[in-house]
Structure 1
Amino acid sequence: MKVKLEDVCERGSSNLKQSDIIDKSGEYPIYGAAGYLGNIDFYHQDKPYIAVVKDGAGIGRTTLHPAKSSVIGTMQYLLPKENVLPEYLYYVVKYMHLEKYFTGATIPHIYFKDYKNEEFNLDTLDRQIEIVGILKKVEDIIEFRRQELDKLDNLIKARFVEMFGDSEHNTKRWSIAKLSSLCNVGSSKRIYQSELTETGIPFLRISDLNERIDGKNNTPQLFIPNDKYDELQTNGLVPSVGDILVTARGTLGKCYIIKPSDTFYFQDGMISWLSDINESITSLYLSYLFSTTGVQKQIANLQAGSTVAYLSIAMLKNLDIMIPPKTLQQQFAYFVTQVNKSKVAVQAALDKAQLLFDSLMQKYFG
């Protein structure tokens, strides 16, 4: 039968801040938006419950937590009533994609009052047990495929270190150059809110770029007109194949290499653009170098005294870059190509499992 979310759960709130639990210990876990934070000597909830990120990064993310645990104040408690299993409610709330209810431009929020009337199909408790079992099995397959992808990524990273050494200490004594001498470091032309449209060429915010880097098939939310894109392209203000986009806010220094199939524009200030890359270095090598300890420590050191993590164009230009022989970079590229063939097969299996999971969620709750 169709019911509203408020028919199966009650909301609860937490006044705990992350700073409140520093140096605390105990036997009861406490969680934040990114997951487990530690243990404390008290708990808020004596039964299993759902938590939803209601403020800031990761808004709408839904998690299931055990009895005798707590969450911090950026998360909303959803406490199951007697007519619903906690695990069933967890899948229901995931199905609802509560992030669509966010308000606020600087710090997004979602409120229970806005989504409490969401409707879904509520089955009997026996049927709920059956549905939870099926969804859990498919979710386990999805997690297994993700772990396979992680292992392949780690294989590439290990091969990188084997071939090029420790980037922090330049153990193979490669020559060093500033990034500014190896490529043009800049960003896009500013696109104003008034220029955005509902159709046209996708316009990527930093969150959209992060999803692309992570291999997610995100659906564009913002666009610019085709003629605006053509104008930018005519003026040489659109990235070319092989150029690199670098995240400049949030998680700093994540890289995306422009592909032949890419047609989009991107947010200035939040995303930097490496173009006209010197022939002595390949885009693939450079993008993997950015993920190494050596470059990440340089980026972290440049943040000293800053309250907001930001990788400016000036900071990027000043990074020290190891330059191994081009032939070695090309050998690495060949290795990555071979591993990527395996990744494509695993990704296809992951996509298939995800499609099954999504269709089952629609079938059970829609």
Structure 2
Amino acid sequence: MMARLGDYCTNASSNIKQSDLEKRDGIYPIYGASGLIKCVDFYVQDKPYIAVVKDGAGVGRVLKLPAYSSVIGTLQYIIPNEDVELEYLAYAMEYMNLAKYQTGATIPHIYFKDYSKAEFNISDVGVQKEITKIFNGLDTLIDAKRQQLIKLDELVKSRFVELFGDPETNPFGWEKVTVGEVCSSIVRGPFGSALKKEFFVEPNETTYKVYEQKHAIQKSATIGTYYVTAEKFDELRRFECVAGDILMSCSGTMGELYQLPEGCEKGLINQALCKFTLNEKILPIVFLTYMKQTIGNLETKGSGIQNIAAVSYVKAMPINLAPMEVQKQFAAFVEQVDKSKLVVKQSLEKLEILKKSLMQKYFG
């Protein structure tokens, strides 16, 4: 039978700030929107529970969390009652897509009073356990595929270090150049006033795509709905981007890189992106991997990452330029790994489609 979420659980708030945790070290885990933050010397919940991201990035995400743990204030506790299995309710809530209840333009929020009205199919406890077992099995397979992708990425990183060495120590003595020397152009997107939302139009045969930060973050050229007229494109032609150009996010989530693929729409970059057009000195995959490693080092050190918003800083970033023969060797290796990744991604996609289909069957 169909039932309202609010009839099978209660909610509770957290007033814990992440900044409050700096000196609170212990054995009890505390979680944020992205998962475990650290272990502290206190806990709020003494039994397993569900948590929902209620504010900011990841709003609506559902987490199943262990006993003797807590969450910070951007999440809220969901406590199931005795008529529903915790994991069953968590899967039902995942099916509900709670993000659709969000309000707030700048910082999205969801409220229990709104999403508690969402309905789902409730079965007796025995059936709930059987259904939960099915989804647990699927999640195990999905997690295994994701781990395979992570390991393949780590394989590429390992091969890069093997061929090129540590970028900071340059053990092979490669020629030291700057990012500016391996690019024919580096362009930061136009000021916001030059590309405001009122300039955007519906796409047609004569319009040009506006590439945004999310294209770099999500590694996709097909998302996004912003387009400009041919006249506006001509006015901002300096910010034109085409297949082969590399985009980098320069605002908010910084340092995400993406090479525009063959067949992508011709367009412009917006103010949150920087565009690299490489010259013949470096292969794209070498540049991408080198930049990712360099930016990762900046993040690890906790300083300098904000500087990549400035073209002058990026142009001066050092690169140890390996011979083209070594670059091609690395590119061939990555090509083979990418073939393996494609097989894993296709398998992962099938599992995720199956999960969505079963959620519709059991909870819809």
Q: TM-score, normalised by structure 2?
A: 0.88
Letter in 1 for 2:270: D
Letter in 2 for 1:222: T
Does the 8 Å CA contact 1:175/1:324 hold for their aligned counterparts?
Answer: yes
Find 1:315's aligned residue among 305, 313, 316.
313
- Asked if 1:192 corresponds to 2:196, the answer is yes
Where does residue 62 of structure 1 map in the other structure? 62
CA distance in 2, matches of 1:7, 1:78: 12
Query: What pairs up with 1:57-136 in 2 under 5 angstroms?
Result: 57-136=57-136
CA shift at 1:39, angstroms? 2.5
CA shift at 1:239, angstroms? 1.7
Distance 1:202 1:81, change over 3 A: farther
CA distance in 2, matches of 1:202, 1:282: 26
Where does residue 241 of structure 1 map in the other structure? 243
Distance 1:234 1:269, change over 3 A: closer
Does the 8 Å CA contact 2:30/2:37 hold for their aligned counterparts?
Answer: yes
Does the 8 Å CA contact 2:216/2:257 hold for their aligned counterparts?
Answer: no
CA distance in 2, matches of 1:115, 1:195: 36
Letter in 2 for 1:212: K
Does the 8 Å CA contact 1:47/1:66 hold for their aligned counterparts?
Answer: yes
CA shift at 1:242, angstroms? 1.5
Where does residue 153 of structure 2 map in the other structure? 153
Query: What pairs up with 1:215-364 in 2 under 5 angstroms?
Result: 220=223, 222-224=225-227, 227-228=229-230, 231=233, 235=237, 237-263=239-265, 268-275=270-277, 277-292=278-293, 294-298=294-298, 303=303, 311-364=309-362
CA shift at 1:317, angstroms? 1.8
CA shift at 1:232, angstroms? 5.5
CA distance in 2, matches of 1:365, 1:144: 25
Does the 8 Å CA contact 1:185/1:274 hold for their aligned counterparts?
Answer: yes
Letter in 2 for 1:269: Q
Q: Per-residue CA shift, 1:239-295, capped at 9, x if unaligned?
A: 2222101122344322111111322757623221112x1111111110000121x45
CA distance in 1, matches of 2:202, 2:45: 43
CA shift at 1:16, angstroms? 0.6
Distance 1:83 1:193, change over 3 A: farther
- Which stretch has the larger CA shift, 97-106 or 204-213? 204-213
Number of aligned residue pairs: give it.
357
Distance 1:362 1:203, change over 3 A: farther
- Which stretch has the larger CA shift, 12-21 or 185-194? 185-194
Does the 8 Å CA contact 1:167/1:295 hold for their aligned counterparts?
Answer: no
Does the 8 Å CA contact 1:88/1:128 hold for their aligned counterparts?
Answer: yes
Tell me, what secondary structure is at the counterpart of 2:195?
coil
CA distance in 2, matches of 1:219, 1:49: 38
CA shift at 1:230, angstroms? 9.1
Q: Per-residue CA shift, 1:109-133, capped at 9, x if unaligned?
A: 2222232211211121111101110
- Asked if 1:8 corresponds to 2:8, the answer is yes
Aligned CA-pair RMSD: 2.8
Does the 8 Å CA contact 2:242/2:264 hold for their aligned counterparts?
Answer: no
Q: Per-residue CA shift, 1:189-208, capped at 9, x if unaligned?
A: 45322234576676554245
Where does residue 217 of structure 2 map in the other structure? 210
Distance 1:234 1:246, change over 3 A: closer
